[in-house]
Amino acid sequence: MKLKFIPFSLLLLLSFGISAQTELECKTKLSNFHVATKSKKYDAAYEPWLYVKNNCPDLNLAIYADGEKILKHKIETSKGEIQLSYVNAMLDLWLLRKEHFKSDTPEGEFDTKACQLQYDYKDELGKTSIELFECFDVAFNADEENFTHPKSLYTYFSLMVELFDEGKKSSAELFKNYDEVNEKIELEIQNYSEKINALVEKVDNGGTLTSSEENKKSAYESYLKNYSLIQGNMNIIADKRAKCDNLIPLYTKDFEVYQNDSIWLKRSVSRMYHKDCTDDDLYEKLVKQYDKVAPSADTKVYVATVLFKKGKDDEAYKYLEEAYKLEKRPYKKANIALRIGTILKEKGQYSKARNFLSEALQLNPSNGKPHFYIASMYAESAKDKSCGKDNFHQRAVYWLAAEEAQKASRIDPTLQSSVKAYVANYLAKAPTKEEIFLSGLSGKTIKIQCWINRSIKVPKID
């Protein structure tokens, strides 16, 4: 009987030896490919990485973090069937990572990466738009918190638009998708704005940013720029498909079902407001219901827009002030102040508008839009005779407008191209060098009168 167990014992020892040897080799190759990856020598890293992935998939998270970089390089430097094999290898890698390191593989991040890669190579993979949309839709609904990449948010929405245009999605589905994605973008903009504001506050208090903080600030600004860009593109696309003629029947039909749903009411009111469908009786009906179901700073602003339409400006202004007082969170309060400022600007109440826009700047200093709006109000007042005693002093307002607009681009990189065009326009309308010379005011500071009540230095000429 003992002799029968000898081969089995030897087999156990042999298998143990192979396992130990494999583990040792995996650790050695792990070190090799990790060092190579850090040096961006991805081709050299590929073979040792592949061995570790195939033989010890649960050894270290670096198998997946580095593997992603290695396969990304392989995809970018190959073509045809070989490239496609690396695309599929990347998709398999994310599935394997979820299997062995589930807690370190948030669905909203990695499932979205998989969806985006399939979208990027949809023709090669034979993927349809409906398949790809469903891929993103599942990822978004499963883990919205970690579904944050700007490109993927835009892809998700653009697929919905494509399906809507093909008659495969309804108007209600399109607007719902737009609202969800847009709200997510707003949340990310708030997140990065608050991070930048914390760094700005440090500098304002006399501190100096470390090199790490400078890098973070640049990264945050980059994300803000990308989010703002895709949000702008989404608005253009949605606006072409959201007309009062189709919004009003849609919301009228759905009102009875959703009249106590605060989210539906908020989205409906917001869309009608931004599409300027506020003359229709439905808008007032939605606003009043929204204020009844979920009274908030937002609802007070919308009520104010109804009152302005009816010519009840004094009552409307009280609602705006109430809205501002209700909101306590700095970022949200800044947005309320910005909205109130823009409403008052459109009403021609420039002094009150500037007060709210200035409050918005203090609460959210990384948003340059208030500077931009203040600059435009200055420019619009340039022909106001009460702002200057003569043509020269009135047109000097354009220097003030240009100066204010430039502040916007300095703090908000998303506005640089727009600001550049407006500043050039303002300066072209300001007094010429010849006029400065003849005025005798070169290099002197002059006072702008009227509601502006600011001073500006006349450019010095030789």
**pLDDT for residue 361 is more than 50:** yes
257 CB neighbour count, 10 Å cutoff? 9
> What value does the mean pLDDT take over residues 104-111?
95
Q: What is the mean pLDDT of the chain?
A: 91
In a domain, 37, yes or no: yes
**pLDDT for residue 265 is more than 80:** yes
The pLDDT of residue 276 is 85
In a domain, 268, yes or no: no
Identify the three-state secondary structure at position 133: helix
Confidence class of residue 104 from pLDDT cuts 50, 70 and 90? very high
Length reported for the chain: 462
Alpha-carbon span 92 to 53, nearest angstrom: 11
Contact 75, 87 (CB under 8 A): yes
Identify the three-state secondary structure at position 456: strand
17 CB neighbour count, 10 Å cutoff? 10
Confidence class of residue 267 from pLDDT cuts 50, 70 and 90? very high
> What value does the mean pLDDT take over residues 375-390?
91
**pLDDT for residue 17 is more than 80:** no
Instruction: Render pLDDT for 194-212 as a digit per residue (tens, 0 to 9).
Output: 999 999 889 888 899 999 9
Q: Which of 96, 37, 112 is nearest to 71 (CA)?
A: 37
> What value does the mean pLDDT take over residues 60-74?
97
Spatial neighbors of 281 by CB under 8 A, at least 6 apart, are none
Alpha-carbon span 124 to 126, nearest angstrom: 6
Higher pLDDT: 260 or 20? It is: 260
Tokens 């708030």 — which residue?
Answer: 190
In a domain, 296, yes or no: no
In a domain, 129, yes or no: yes
351 CB neighbour count, 10 Å cutoff? 12
CATH of the domain at 12: 1.25.40
**pLDDT for residue 14 is more than 60:** no
In a domain, 100, yes or no: yes
Tokens 């009411």 — which residue?
Answer: 265
Alpha-carbon span 220 to 400, nearest angstrom: 30
Instruction: Render pLDDT for 155-198 as a digit per residue (tens, 0 to 9).
Output: 999 999 999 999 999 998 999 999 999 999 999 999 999 999 99
The pLDDT of residue 174 is 94
Alpha-carbon span 382 to 400, nearest angstrom: 10
Confidence class of residue 454 from pLDDT cuts 50, 70 and 90? very high
In a domain, 294, yes or no: no
Taking CA 144 as the corner, what is the angle to CA 142 and CA 147, rounded to the nearest 5 degrees? 110
What string of H, E and C letters represents the secondary structure of 161-174?
A: HHHHHCCCCCHHHH
Tokens 């709210």 — which residue?
Answer: 356
Instruction: Render pLDDT for 214-260 as a digit per residue (tens, 0 to 9).
Output: 999 999 999 998 999 999 999 999 988 888 988 999 999 999 999 99
**pLDDT for residue 307 is more than 50:** yes
In a domain, 154, yes or no: yes
The pLDDT of residue 275 is 85
Alpha-carbon span 202 to 259, nearest angstrom: 46
Instruction: Render pLDDT for 142-166 as a digit per residue (tens, 0 to 9).
Output: 999 999 999 999 999 999 999 999 9
In a domain, 368, yes or no: no
Alpha-carbon span 172 to 151, nearest angstrom: 24
For residue 38, count CB atoms less than 10 angstroms from its CB and return exposed for 0-12, middle for 13-18, buried for 19 or more. exposed
DSSP string for 389-432: SSHHHHHTHHHHHHHHHHHHHHH-GGGHHHHHHHHHHHHHHSPP
Alpha-carbon span 21 to 10, nearest angstrom: 16
> What value does the mean pLDDT take over residues 107-133?
97
Alpha-carbon span 166 to 156, nearest angstrom: 16
Last residue of a domain, one of 205, 240, 275: 240
Using the CB atoms, write b or e for 368-382: b if 16+ within 10 Å.
bbbbbbbbbbbbebb
DSSP string for 312-333: -HHHHHHHHHHHHHH--SHHHH
**pLDDT for residue 2 is more than 50:** no
Q: How far from 401 is each of 204, 344, 382, 398, 459, CA to CA, in Å?
A: 24, 18, 9, 5, 14
Query: Which pair of tokens denotes residue 315?
Result: 């009552």
Q: Which of 412, 417, 461 is nearest to 439 (CA)?
A: 461
Range of the domain at 44: 2-240
pTM of the predicted model as reported, rounded to 2 decimal places: 0.77
Q: What percent of the chain has pLDDT over 70?
A: 96
Alpha-carbon span 26 to 246, nearest angstrom: 62
Domain count, the chain: 2
Alpha-carbon span 412 to 457, nearest angstrom: 24
DSSP string for 24-54: HHHHHHHHHHHHHHHTT-HHHHHHHHHHHHH
The pLDDT of residue 19 is 76
Query: Which pair of tokens denotes residue 286?
Result: 């939605």
Last residue of a domain, one of 224, 240, 256: 240
Q: What percent of the chain has pLDDT over 90?
A: 74
> What value does the mean pLDDT take over residues 406-416?
83
Last residue of a domain, one of 240, 271, 300: 240
DSSP secondary-structure letter at 454?
E
Confidence class of residue 7 from pLDDT cuts 50, 70 and 90? low
State phi, psi for 228 to the nearest 5 degrees.
Answer: -65, -40
Contact 68, 114 (CB under 8 A): no
Instruction: Render pLDDT for 313-344 as a digit per residue (tens, 0 to 9).
Output: 889 989 988 999 999 989 999 999 999 999 99
